[in-house]
Chains A and B, each alone.
Chain A
Amino acid sequence: MTLAAPGVLRPDWGTAVAAALPFVVALAVGAVLLAATGRNPIDVYALMAREGFGGANRIAATLTAATPILFTAVATAVSFRAGIFNVGVEGAFYLGGLAGAVVGFTLVSWPSPLLIPAELAAGALFGGMWLTLPGILRAWLEVDEVVSTLMLNFVAINLTLLLVNGPFLAPGSANSATPMIATAGWLPRLLPPTTLTLGFFIALAVLVLYFVWERLTPLGFEARLNGLNPRFSRAVGIDVRGLILKTMALSGMIGGLAGSAHALGVTHRFVVGFSPGYGWTGLAVALMGRNSAIGMLIGAIVFGALASAGTTVQLFSDIPLEIVDVLQGVVTIFAVVRFARIRKRPGRA
């Protein structure tokens, strides 16, 4: 049940081709759909490429869309490295987003340099606590983390909805949303008038920290060891329970940070349907990038481009936005094909 593909240490061309394969398949499937509905796929893809990368504004939009995906990819990769198949980042994203928003609309008198870190810290704290729970269940009671984190995602979505329709509902608001975050608590825009905020650079910083963590820190080393060979790591005396707990907490913290950064930088409040599945997209990107920092950066930018291009392509042409879902879905399916033979734990209750 190793999560690391061969060649993780030294990225080689074989790995790069394998990582690009899902996109090729997805573009082919999308081309069939587009052609079958009477459109020229090449024209559509050219339009999408232009909308994704053509000019500073569009690149900024792409990087903005890539930000939550980059965060959630790293959050997922932390646990994957340790061989823990955690699919609960989506839930941490919801909780972190709500926590950040609550701090942001409550402490309205705080100045930016205090408020923004407080919001981000709240997100990380609640996200971290959230995923510590399945960590405990896995480490001490051997509860399968795939099922527990999957279930917890649905609990998180409904729990945040419950809170946002209850104590945190904006006065006079009919749709399920919190009050707006104080403007001092918004992440500053870096290149006005584009939408790019500090959030993207926080995500980049987290990515760099992840790189350092997995290569240079004892915990990162232990995680890799456990991910490659859990029996060996136990035999050499690694505290596997502590490792599970720490990596799950870390994964949750990054997922929560992702949510609060999204609330502060993009939505400026917590609102129903807060995440269109960022946790799942991040998971696909982590798998596709084989948990490597550079691979995840590329994957996040490509998915970001798809998302930002899809929105504008629908505006300017008659192509339904759902083409992006089709492409994303196919990429996700093939992201895990043939390589990384992850957990083959047959039928355990």
Chain B
Amino acid sequence: MIDNVLATATLLTTPILLTAIGGLINRLGGIVNIGLEAMMLAGAYIALVVSSATQSWPLALLAALTLGAAIGLLFSLVVTRLDANEIVAGVGFDIATAGLIGFILKDYYHSSGTIRLPNVLMLPRIPLGPLDQVPIVGAVLANKDPLTWLSWILVPVTAFVLSRTRVGLRLRAAGAAPEAAVALGMRPLAIRDASTVVAGALAGLAGAQLSIGIVGVFSVGMSGGRAFIALAAFYFGRNRPGLTAVGAGLFGLFDAIQIYLQGRGVPPELVQMLPYVVVLVVLTSLGVADRKRRLTQGG
């Protein structure tokens, strides 16, 4: 039972983690991106369509990545060049994209919610030979899709890039001190746009993992607020990739537990509420700590 829950939790963590890393990069660059939900949904849709049409999962991933990045760029331009408020514009992108995909589903596939396409090629699962049989380790590591591995690799890579490289420094400068960045000859808006494109691409991949990694169909509610959970994860992680990954893993585990508990007398809403409550608790305790520090320093 533990192995089952852990195996599911690992798979369910992947879209949250991919999106959270993108969202974190985006936020360090200066944009809180709620539109990631739209990019995830679009990625899920296009990945299924391309996989069905070409029977090639790399092409499907490429399509999801590209579409996510393109929507990310559009969103970013609205925010950075037209001065739109990022939260409201993000909500607008979520509504418009879900509407557009719903429109296409009804108009083209004559379906009001879910589509199944012929000959969809799912993402391959990577076996690890003898490790598969080891309890817990096997459940977590064995038979996972490439995107899950990518999400794990991205955690240390992102941490390294952000803290140790020129690119990371510039990104943080563009987010934290745009005026200073301009004075140093950087183009903070362009850097900001680039960070949104990266976030969009990762959210697109996250969507692909949902449609061709886990279930093999597409439905309009597929992203199911996972971008908001991802947001909760990087707020939980205070912009640190490692801690953000812990948050994403925790929320993936909640998700798996909720599925396991279905029909066993525990209300699913209770578990679904947890990520958001955890973030509120974390933010509150950080606030209390800051206040204590201020009071002792000020007094």
- Which A residues lie at the B interface, using CB under 8 A? 33, 37, 85, 87, 137, 140-144, 146-148, 150-152, 154-155, 158-159, 161-162, 165-166, 277, 280, 283-284, 287, 318, 320, 322-343, 346-347, 349
Contact = CB atoms under 8 A, between A and B. Distances in A.
A37 B92 CA distance: 22
B284 A158 contact: no
A266 B195 CA distance: 44
B99 A337 contact: no
B95 A143 contact: no
6 nearest A-B pairs in the assembled complex, by CB-CB distance: A329-B96, A325-B99, A141-B287, A332-B92, A333-B92, A329-B95
A233 B94 CA distance: 36
Interface residues of B, number: 56
A155 B283 contact: no
Interface in B147-201: 172, 175-178
A283 B269 contact: no
A322 B106 CA distance: 9
B37 to A, nearest CB: 12
Contacts, number: 167
B273 A158 contact: yes
A248 B283 CA distance: 19
Contacts of B291: 140-142
Chain A residues touching B, majority SS: helix
A280 B87 CA distance: 10
Contacts of A137: 283-284, 287
B280 A332 contact: no
A296 to B, nearest CB: 15
Given A142-B290, A155-B273, A330-B96, A280 B103 contact: no
Contact of A155 (B100, B277, B288): B277
Contacts of B92: 284, 329-335
B276 A165 contact: no
Nearest to A147: B235
A87 B96 contact: no
Contact of A337 (B82, B232, B284): B82
A142 B279 CA distance: 15
Nearest to B89: A333
Given A154-B228, A337-B83, A338-B83, 19 more contacts: A33-B103, A85-B87, A142-B291, A147-B231, A147-B235, A147-B279, A150-B228, A152-B280, A162-B270, A162-B273, A287-B85, A322-B100, A325-B95, A325-B103, A332-B92, A333-B93, A336-B89, A337-B78, A343-B85
A161 B92 CA distance: 25
B84 A322 contact: no
